[in-house]
Structure 1
């Protein structure tokens, strides 16, 4: 037995009670992947109040000049004289019928200019002034019971970003191809130039800017060449959301060829998807393009999109192939809603990522990744209420399919992704525990069917007719952190390489790392992981890295050498966290290569031991 640098010597006897390890599953157990993208919502706007995620209880919130956390968005007399700032605010704080009216509310602008203006050189503090005050508004579980139910029933990702700080088309182009052809990308400029808006008029808006159509190679073309089955499912009303239709090779494809029949035809509707998912006859890769009124794009209602999501989830999870299917639900961009996390992005000047703002407003800017979006993964290997914490964007979905199909013997690795993006965005694999599939289904409320007239969805139109005013008055001058930065209480198991933004509990064999008053020790873990003495905050040494200092939620003191708690960050011990993946937990090492706590990394008497810690992201108000 290997037991190093132990905090948990008293728990060694528990090792013998572990059950033998059964045959380990792997990514090869997947046979079907379904990619389903909705429209125009930001992470905080939907899930900022959720427990166990990087939301309104973020202990690493960015502090801007003037010692102001990014929560405090400046306002001025052009908006109100009642206050100088706006905190995140619950859109339906007034009660009454606002919960219905705000379903069809439009917040702000989702385009390149207004979102870069809100970002304000990474201060991320001009949402109210350079977009709108409603951009800083949010919903709760009350408005989004289906969304919360799906996300918490399986695994939510809380560091998933839009690929481009821009509108729908550039982000969906990234989703389908891996690039927007920013300067230095693998594409040549004459294949469409950089794509940063929704232009669909033939020609270019400027020199190699927003050209239409595009002509570089899309990801499904790699699938086709490798013999992988794939299909786009869409109705005639697809909100013009199928990005393949914006590429010349699909526009000119003969009607009977795969690019036409699989990519841009309407031969396979959403009803066809439901039937094939139920029967277990889906292709290997499926794309779902929903209709406009169910897309959640403001003013289209979240509750109508929730119904569509439930139809898709039910078809997959109650179908004959759920045991080997992965459903990934994402959103294309933020829709003019703000998010408090400044985007993780490449260093200035990185090839394929930075460019001179073609509109002459912002100088040298990074094109993305941008703000965080709602994101969750439904599968037997992501069941159970987890949070996936790795940096990811739309390219991550492409990388996941590459990893999966590569494991099954297909070569579908695209050469169209810019190098920094490929190196630094997650492939999502560590969101999964293939060693422990769980085929049970969570209890999710039943979504109300959208209203229709003459066979057409019209929920948003009814909403607008019933509630001519959809924007509630912002609560200027009536906000405090106590009444604005409100989160639910609870926890989620962490998966993936760690990032900042959460209170964490480190556990193994029934014990948790504990602030024992001056020293780091161990004490019994609680079922709710709610002991404040066992709660820790990590601070990243380098953006995108896996080394951190760790401080206690009790007194702010850092873990130092020899497990002493120290007051100064410069005296803190730097710890390296590694997610071993596939249910093995996290190992934690000190700079000299020793295990922090304990690390069991070998087979003992036929048992495959869990390595290191389980980590929980927790949200409690004490």
Structure 2
């Protein structure tokens, strides 16, 4: 969630592309018509912080088809520009409960991680694919923290074992794990959260002041749900931001508070509630049709360094158990994802030459002092994502998408909500993103665990 540490400048290349209007309802189910819509009455989305698939979930061992690090020798160099040092630091099951550093996850920092250069050509797709080697994470870690200590730099690519993420691992074993789900932006938190909740970041490529001032003008899913008379609530940790129209005292807003509409409509007063209210509503069976959860950031709930993994596991355990033991469980779909990779390594190259949410671009100054412009036509790094419901299969591994653009990304959630409630498409990126309604089955499972194990005892 922390902002980038380099100078930035916003650039607008043209007016935003117009989003399609009117209902866009398609059925991609496997042989049961629209009946999946009758099963899911409540959708809950929890977006955690800053973990890549490989470093968080790449050590899961319960299914050999998971595209993680157990069957991959994944190495980086301390100096990506020096071929003599190629592959001199390799990933291992040595990730710490508390990461010693918070890796760089600015747009240009991620360029180095993915391409081993701050300046890939954003406008030559074939060249981008050729350059995308995913071997600059350790180099970037070394540059950002001015260290030649391989052990310290390797923390950017080291991973957890299944035993060390008992809570997430148990959920994965019991529901659906996506191992090819990409963040929306190869950059920091708030641009990704904006894409997840509106299909675009409106040209924002860093965690700037606009996210704290209800400044984003685009139509969000929160506005869209209200227009379609679908009930919703953004529950947020009560220490994260006050439900007011002022800048939060500690610099973070719940995601619904990014948008002008949330303030002008008065929704900031009626539809943003403290996290304690979520637990009460889940217990009472009064959750709205759409629930959006913001953890605190970045000390104990969010997984964002220096948040301990163990405390993040405790948090998601509590959210799951509140839903699992709610009267609404049998009509609930729970989506757990992470907003972005946070600078942690992954060996799978993100797709390039995909539709942006609009025609706006973003420019920042890289660590070499030169400008770099990003056109939002690349996806971010893979992040761990789970689909949880009594209506999905047990231990399913979902790889590539099966419809639309063939890739899962954060805007797949918006596409799914569009299909579920017959809403229009927000942006071209939403139209591109694969949806996952085919994973909802005709079988109501009675074997879903009511409780999850306690986190791994690091100490």
Taking structure 1 as the reference length, what is the TM-score of the superposition?
0.55
Q: In the superposition, relative to structure 1, how do residues 298 and 353 fare at CA in structure 2: closer, same or farther (>3 Å)?
A: farther
- 2:88 counterpart residue number: 85
Kept in 1: contact 2:54–2:159 (CA 8 A): yes
Any idea what the Cα deviations from partners look like across 1:371-400, whole Å, max 9, x if unmatched?
000100110122411111222111111111
CA RMSD, 1 decimal:
3.2
How far apart are the structure 2 equivalents of 1:78 and 1:403?
A: 46
- 1:236 counterpart residue number: 238
Q: In the superposition, relative to structure 1, how do residues 438 and 125 fare at CA in structure 2: closer, same or farther (>3 Å)?
A: same
- 1:213 counterpart residue number: 215
Kept in 2: contact 1:41–1:297 (CA 8 A): yes
Taking structure 2 as the reference length, what is the TM-score of the superposition?
0.74
Q: Which has the higher strand share?
A: 1
How far apart are the structure 2 equivalents of 1:314 and 1:364?
A: 41
How far apart are the structure 1 equivalents of 2:386 and 2:207?
A: 26
Work out whether 1:307 is the aligned partner of 2:292. no
Find the partner of 2:418 among 386, 397, 402: 402
Q: 2:293 aligns to what SS in structure 1? A: strand
How far apart are the structure 2 equivalents of 1:146 and 1:115?
A: 29
Find the partner of 1:199 among 177, 193, 208: 208
> 1:53-202 residue pairs with structure 2 within 5 A?
53-56=66-69, 71-76=74-79, 85-91=88-94, 102-120=97-115, 121-132=131-142, 133=153, 134-181=155-202, 194-200=203-209
Kept in 2: contact 1:111–1:166 (CA 8 A): yes
Q: Unpaired runs of 5+ in structure 1? A: 1-20, 62-68, 93-98, 182-193, 204-210, 407-411, 451-462, 467-622
Work out whether 1:276 is the aligned partner of 2:281. yes
> 1:208-607 residue pairs with structure 2 within 5 A?
213-238=215-240, 240-253=252-265, 257-262=266-271, 265=272, 268-292=273-297, 293-346=300-353, 352=358, 355=361, 357-359=363-365, 360-362=370-372, 366-389=376-399, 390=401, 391-406=407-422, 412-415=423-426, 417=427, 419=428, 421-433=429-441, 435-442=442-449, 445-447=452-454
Q: Unpaired runs of 5+ in structure 2? A: 1-30, 116-130, 143-152, 242-251, 402-406
Q: Which has the higher helix share?
A: 2
Any idea what the Cα deviations from partners look like across 1:290-343, whole Å, max 9, x if unmatched?
223211111001111111111111111111111111110111011110111000
Counting matched residue pairs gives: 377
- 1:249 Cα offset (Å): 2.7
Q: Which has the higher contact order (CA 8 A, sep 6+)?
A: 2
- 1:432 Cα offset (Å): 2.0
